[in-house]
Amino acid sequence: MSDKSAMLEDMYTAILDGDADVARQLAERALEAGMSPLETIDEGFVPGIHEVGRLWEEGEYFLPELVTAAEALKAAMAIILPALGDSDRAQGKGRVLIGTVGGDIHDIGITLVGTMLVAHGFEVTNLGADVPTAQFVERARELDADIVCASALLTTTMLGLGELAEALARAGLRARLLVGGAPVSNAWAEQIGAHGYADNAVSAIKVAEQLIGG
Amino acid sequence: MDKVAWWKPPLLLDGAMGSLLFDMGLERGQAPESWVFEHPQRVEQAHRLYVEAGSDIIQSNTFGATPSKLAAAGMAGQSALVNRTAIEIARRVATAGTIVAGNIGPTGLLFPPMGTATEEMLLSEFRLQAEALAGAGADFINIETMYDVREALCAVHAAHATGLPVFASMTFEKTKRGYFTMVGDRVSHSLAALYDAGADVVGFNCSVTPTIMLSMLQEARPVCTCPIIAQPNAGNPQPTPTGVKYDAVPVTFAKDLVALLDAGASVIGGCCGTTPEFIREIRQLLDLRA
């Protein structure tokens, strides 16, 4: 195995282990060794996060493992993003505004999705938890967002997603609405007029890519 | 539990509280607990509907009444008063045979790596709530919807210290490898840990249908020597333009809950989506068996 492929393998493992220190060191070493920043992302770290998503679907990984994996990815991305050249940046996939709807105080899910969107080439603005509808609309307009990505974690707050769908449509913005969260289903997403639905962070990336492509 | 005078299983709990309050005018974003001050008579009415439907046990409107959760809802510093007042309201409705449970839900604070909660932090949250509930005259403490056994254990320790009986339920979901909480706690391990920490009755609530809860119960039964509590949701949530409706009908739900008793549960009740109508149907079946 070449040094490079060994290093890519280590990146994959660092994400799987949720080891932010190792992920950061690997990112630094890779750049020092002249490896292309995009290659470290696409062939090292991102395959790791995809495997984490698969293990979650299999019931092998749970929230703590998802969170530490995302932290490790974030640590690596903090080193790699500044090293991406202009040409690499130019292939940015789109601007995403992300947050949980009003009343929902947890931002774990959207932070996970946000980190992964960044790793997949999206430009992400994270509004955090408990975001009023009006703020989503205002920021989506300011940023000329391609996608608004919103989640609700409770059956009592999920109505906020419907409110957001209506408000975005009323405001005449071009942003596509991608929704998720524990109580949310595909049927519900369709019913409220969202453009996409994802039940986990890995599928959120796929859906976001489809929304941009379509 | 055998030394407790009111312990005469099977015992029937009440159903969902929040949804009844929403029907009575509680607004989205408003904490249900705020109504113990703003609309005590409506909270009282919700309890009354369950007593009339045949609940043996009614639960105080204090699911979110830990100090930090109330603070997040704009009610900082009011935990002791909310918990006391809520028990007083439930007591007003209780008939001679009604058992009043002091209800405790999760704080919303998460342990690392998801958050920064510590055991000391959560113990002090639950101590304050449990002591207020006990001081106001709760017959026992019912801890529910816990998703991290570390937090559930803090709640059990705090509740146990009041000297009252403690029931503790966690919420598990189905994965390809069996039933786990969202942080990866397994059914058998979790319930055994709660019992070892001093819970008198342990079990499940929320997240799943009665049928799924039945198979959780079957998994737990061989390792649990203590009584078991089971409170499933009213089926699966279905989207509607105004919110979520659960798809189970009261008659079928009641039969499914009796099946939980047959599989070894001692205490049954309903979680999300259940109403006094569901409780009435279960009561009828229980009376037929008595």
Subunit contact A183:B72, Cβ cutoff 8 A:
no
With CA atoms as reference, the chain A residue closest to B111 would be: A64
Minimum CA–CA partner of A61 in chain B: B184
Interface test with A, best of B182, B206, B208, B238 (most A CBs within 10 A): B182
Quote the pLDDT of residue A120. Answer: 87
- Contact B239/A65, CB-based, under 8 Å? no
Nearest Cα residue in chain B from A185: B239
In a domain, B91, yes or no: yes
Domain extent for B45: 11-289
What pLDDT shows up at residue B149? Answer: 98
Q: Indicate the residue of A59, A67, A191 with minimum beta-carbon distance to B113.
A: A67
Specify the CATH number for the domain of residue B28.
3.20.20.330
Which ipTM was obtained for this model?
A: 0.90
Residue pair B202/B265 in contact (Cβ under 8 Å)? The answer is no
- What average pLDDT values come out for chain B (290 residues) when binned by 10 residues? 95 95 89 97 98 98 97 95 98 96 96 95 98 98 97 98 98 94 95 97 96 96 93 88 85 98 97 96 95
Q: Is the pLDDT of residue A1 over 70?
A: no
* Statement: residue A214 has pLDDT above 90: no
| Cα torsion through A135, A140, A141, A147, rounded to 10 | -160
A55 to chain B: closest CA residue = B176
Task: Please tell me the distance in Å from A149's CA to the nearest CA on chain B.
Answer: 20
Q: Is residue B6 part of a domain?
A: no
Per-window interface: B 37-96 vs A, CB < 8 A: 72
- B187 within a domain of the structure (yes/no): yes
Using CB atoms, pick whichever of B22, B113, B177 lies closest to residue A68: B113
Residue B1 lies in a domain: no
Q: Is residue B79 part of a domain?
A: yes
Position B3 in a domain: no
pLDDT digits (tens, 9 = 90+) for A21-40: 999 999 999 999 999 999 99
Residues of B in contact with A105 (CB under 8 A): 72, 108
> Which chain B residue has the Cα nearest residue A58?
B176
Chain A / chain B CB contacts < 8 angstroms? 65
Cα–Cα distances in angstroms (integers) from residue B42 to residues B49, B177, B272, in the given order: 11, 43, 19
Number of structural domains chain B divides into: 1
pLDDT in tens, A67-113: 999 999 999 999 998 998 765 654 578 999 999 998 777 788 888 89
In a domain, B216, yes or no: yes
**Interface contact B239-A71, CB threshold 8 A:** no
* Residues in A touching B177 (Cβ below 8 Å): 58-60
Put simply, whether B183 touches A (Cβ < 8 Å) is yes
Whether residue B222 lies within 8 A of chain A, CB to CB, comes out as: no
Asked if B108 reaches chain A (Cβ–Cβ under 8 Å), the answer is yes
Query: C-alpha distances in angstroms, A95 versus A72, A133, A136, A176, B288?
Result: 23, 18, 14, 11, 62
Q: Taking the model in full, what pTM does it have?
A: 0.92
Q: B225-228 — which CB contacts under 8 Å span 24+ positions?
A: B225/B195, B226/B195, B226/B199, B226/B200, B226/B201, B226/B202, B227/B1, B227/B9, B227/B200, B227/B201, B227/B266, B227/B267, B228/B191, B228/B201, B228/B202, B228/B203, B228/B264, B228/B265, B228/B266, B228/B267
Helix (H, G, I), strand (E, B) or coil at B240: strand
Task: Give tens-digit pLDDT for A133-167.
Answer: 999 999 999 999 999 999 988 777 888 999 999 99
In a domain, B40, yes or no: yes
